[in-house]
Amino acid sequence: MNPQPPTHPRPRPLRFRAIAALCAAIGLVGIAAAPATAAPKVSGKFDVSGVGTNNEITKGPDGNIWVTLDNANDVARITPKGKVSEYDALDISNPVGIASGPGKTLWVTQPNGVAVFDPSDPDAAEKFTINDIADPRPIVRGPDGNMWTVSGDKVIRIPPADPASAESFQVIDAGRDIDRGKDGRLWVGDFGGQVVRVEADGTAKAYDTGAGSGLQAIATGPRGQVGYADPTSNPQIAGRVAGGKVKRTKTAGDPFGVAYAARTYWMPRFADGDLLALDAETGKTTDPVSFGKNTGPRRVTTGPGKTLWVTLENAEKIARVSGVR
């Protein structure tokens, strides 16, 4: 039997080879032309009459940014484009915390109480006495529809319909910040060296953040996780509580505030004049966004259009950071 001749792939017609080469070239061009993701950057700094160490900043129900002030005026509104308007309301005095409440209202904490106003008319703010708010701190709307704040060793639940009937729970040491988690719980940053999870009925569970720890801010993240800024530890810590475990990332520069956006905890560092990015999954940090020397960034909130807004205490400005992805 005669052996079979060897087989070879049948050459493609030149026309098909040319089309294939063209497609490959187009694909390579497409890959080469894909733009790299731009890093976040400072896109504006806007003058305000004064922000202090504990003055808070938030996105309001009207889509603008709102901040409490420590000078003659009480609160300021900053539009997404950076136009600033300040208000000196009769019923607001030395405000600290600020947050959205029911009915598209804004709530501020102040010594011995709260004040509530419509963003369209801040001068018509109405105050309510709550004596347990001796040391005003941030405020947040809870999963139960009530407003919640911290003061000293107390977590305070405030019914919007009757703020004067607020109820206190003595379940912390020295509250500095409070946030609402997607898990339906409240989370407290405690200067007494712990993160405290608080249920709507006031019961609490604490997570020890270590000897010498002193938390200044907290922000809730994904899947029941929280991030916290701890400038008092030595070395200083950008921390997380994930899966019931405390995880620490060493840092420096005085991390003070924290907000969560784009799978990242963003922490203004007062001494270094920048905004640190802490990956929520890995705990790794990336190159910070700089505000410049002696600006003194303290507090941060998310804003419209993939922005972050930061109080600059020393510069007496509000900074906008764009390109947060």
Q: What is the pLDDT of residues 278-304, one digit of tens each?
A: 999 999 999 999 999 999 999 999 999
3-state helix, strand, coil in the chain (%, to 5): 10, 45, 45
Q: What is the pLDDT of residue 188?
A: 98
Q: What is the pLDDT of residue 45?
A: 98
Q: How far apart are CA 87 and CA 74, in angstroms?
A: 6
Q: How far apart are CA 94 and CA 249, in angstroms?
A: 34
Q: What is the DSSP letter of 83?
A: -
Q: What is the pLDDT of residue 21?
A: 44
Among the ranges given (8-22, 115-129, 287-301, 308-322), the one the predictor scored with the smallest mean pLDDT: 8-22
| 3 state SS of 112 | coil
Question: What six digits make up the tokens of 17?
Answer: 């080879």
- What percentage of residues in the chain have a pLDDT greater than 70? 89
Tell me yes or no: is domain 43-322 CATH 3.40.50.1390. Answer: no
Q: What is the pLDDT of residues 202-224, one digit of tens each?
A: 999 999 999 999 999 999 999 99
Q: What is the pLDDT of residue 36?
A: 54
Q: What is the pLDDT of residue 17?
A: 44
Q: Quote the pTM value.
A: 0.89
Question: What six digits make up the tokens of 235?
Answer: 């070395």
Q: How many other C-beta atoms are found inside a 10 Å radius of the C-beta of residue 161?
A: 8
Q: How far apart are CA 186 and CA 79, in angstroms?
A: 29
